[in-house]
């Protein structure tokens, strides 16, 4: 069970950076977001999680599966 004070990393083990989009095909984060995850505040992580949901929908709509 995840406590209120933990946000699980969005990494799902499909770690491949799309060369054109420069985002991970598994979690939709860019390299900076991946490298900064452990240093992010809870608020930053929550905000990023919301962005990733939208990013995934956008890229599937625009590019199909990336």
Predicted TM-score of the model (pTM): 0.82
Share of the chain above pLDDT 70, in %: 88
- pLDDT score of 60: 77
> Would you say residue 22 has pLDDT above 80?
yes
Give the residue-averaged pLDDT of 41-47. 97
Paired with 56 in beta bridges are: none
Average pLDDT, integer, range 26-41 = 97
Exposure class string for 41-65: b at 16+ Cβ within 10 A, else e: eeeebeebeeebeebeeebeeeeee
* Dihedral sign from CA coordinates of 44, 24, 64, 62: positive
Angular region, 14: left φ>0, alpha ψ -120 to 50, beta rest: beta
10 has pLDDT over 90:
yes
């Amino acid at each position: 069970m995840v406590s209120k004070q933990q946000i699980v990393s969005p990494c799902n083990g499909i770690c491949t950076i799309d060369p054109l989009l420069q985002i991970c095909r598994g979690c939709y984060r860019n390299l900076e977001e991946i490298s900064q995850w452990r240093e992010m505040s809870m608020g930053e992580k929550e905000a990023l999680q919301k962005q990733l949901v939208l990013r995934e929908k956008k890229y599937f709509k625009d590019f199909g599966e990336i």
